[in-house]
Amino acid sequence: MDYVNAEFRGYRSPLSARYASKEMQYLFSDQHKFSTWRKLWILLAKAEKAIGLDITDEQIREMERHVEDIDFKAAATEEALTRHDVMAHVHVFAKQCPLAAPIIHLGATSCFVGDNTDLLILKEALEQLLPKLVGVIKQLSHFAVQYRDLPTLGFTHLQPAQLTTVGKRCSLWIQDLLMDERALRACRDNLRFRGVKGTTGTQASFLRLFAGDGDKVRQLDQTVTKLAGFERYYAVTGQTYSRKVDLEIVSALASLGATVHKMCSDLRLLASRKELEEPFELTQIGSSAMPYKRNPMRAERCCALSRHLITLHANAANTLAVQWLERTLDDSANRRLTLSEAFLSADAVLLTLLNISQGLVVYPKVIERNIAQELPFMSTENVIMAMVKAGGDRQVCHEKIRVLSHEAGAQVKQHGRDNDLVDRIKADAYFAPILGQLDSILDPKTFTGRAADQVLEFVKEEVDPIVAHYGDKVVTKSAQLKI
């Protein structure tokens, strides 16, 4: 088959082609990865020079001039020969920097650049995600406050239950998202640098470089860590930093996926009931066959990507579990997929959720109609109590309400008619003493308890401090979504 554009002849990840932001994609790009390797070789050289090794300023300046201009074709050729990605890039960098060639990667093992680069990327990726997550929280909190006192049917077992409010239900979504923010922030704040540890984590090669001076090796570890922007390094490692670190981070991301899946499943259910909808663009098509449809495609996308995100937890857990002794290489190929896809998926999910949270549409009249179908049944206890206060016998009243409720239920279930329990109560002379109270007895707002107050308290006490903590870093607007 003759393809016009070679770009479309190979596989492209939907995460980069359709979903994730350019900023997150760049973090996991080859350009960023390998330029970071070069930056780490420069930091190592600077630290080794500062502590006494014979390294010149000109050697360092030479390396600095070639941080970004990576010859990927030459690196691929070298790797085909050496079957070693780090040494391939050492050779290519050395050819570009002949003066610095003798001191590039001095004393280091492959994981010096590999693992430390991964840690730098993980830190930046977390810093990119958190303001987006807080942006979603902020937008949803506005929605929750706006609709804090709008009654709506609550559901347990997916069956109508006591009323809640639209804003109170939203606050449940926000509470889970706050837990995700806490977990991801902890991952970022607890993240450390691998530093300079050598082939099995003993720092033996660096001890030889500094003629057995352990204090200088410790100083080197601290200096490189500070130059890389970290406050702390892992005091002990094998050849790699513990893959428990990856597991903790992917676990937090998978937990975010579960939160989003739950919320967006709720949105899809509510859209089916026509009570609430996600944004729908003027030119958007819901179905190729059914022009009237307004499918919740954004919420569906969130659910789809979240399911993938959730499954990546097992990859990270299994990778940690099978790291024998000081390390095995069966982590490498898996981590290339798991870490990048976890962050790209989370990024795509948050971008989509931010778009949803900016434009949720509520249909109060539909909600009111749905309440009217169920509230008469829920109000029967209040009717009984009102009758007792008016001098009636509770048992007699209970029996009359039971009979009328079953009759009204038959109209709904067997004949598809509206709930007419209230009309039946009004038509029964027994209830004449309380007919003037029926409107207040059936006022939906009397069935929502402290829901509205709970929303205000929750936003003030738990949401606002988190949003304030991020200040102007909070992302509150999303660009138009990709297809």
- At 156, the pLDDT band (50, 70, 90 cuts) reads very high
Decide: helix, strand or coil at residue 154: strand
Reported as a single tens digit per residue, the pLDDT across 20-76 is: 899 999 999 999 999 999 999 999 999 999 999 999 999 999 999 999 999 999 999
Q: Residue 233: beta bridge partners?
A: 193
Reported as a single tens digit per residue, the pLDDT across 412-439 is: 888 888 888 888 888 888 888 888 888 8
Domains of the chain by start residue, with CATH: 26-107 (1.10.275.10), 110-150+158-280+294-362 (1.20.200.10), 366-446 (1.10.40.30)
Backbone angles phi and psi of 21, in degrees to 5:
-75, 155
pTM for the complete prediction? 0.89
Look at residue 139 in the predicted model and tell me its pLDDT.
96
Look at residue 483 in the predicted model and tell me its pLDDT.
55
Residue 132 has pLDDT above 90, yes or no: yes
Residues with catalytic roles: 157, 287
The whole-angstrom separation of Cα 252 and Cα 188 is: 11
Is residue 137 within 8 A of residue 263, CB to CB? The reply is no
Mean pLDDT of the chain: 91
Reported as a single tens digit per residue, the pLDDT across 276-290 is: 999 866 444 454 444
**Strand blocks (E) in 282-418:** 361-362
* CB-based contacts of 435-443 (< 8 A; 24+ apart in sequence): 437/386, 438/383, 441/379, 441/382, 441/383, 441/386, 442/375, 442/376, 442/379
SS3 content of the chain, % helix, strand, coil (to 5): 70, 5, 30
Q: Which residues of 163-190 are buried (b: 16+ CB within 10 A; e: fewer)?
A: bbbbbbbbbebbebbbebbebbbebbee
Share of the chain above pLDDT 90, in %: 71
Closest residue by Cα to residue 254 from 314, 191, 332, 173: 314
Residue 117 has pLDDT above 80, yes or no: yes
Decide: helix, strand or coil at residue 276: strand
Reported as a single tens digit per residue, the pLDDT across 140-155 is: 999 999 999 999 999 9
Reported as a single tens digit per residue, the pLDDT across 159-176 is: 888 899 999 999 999 999
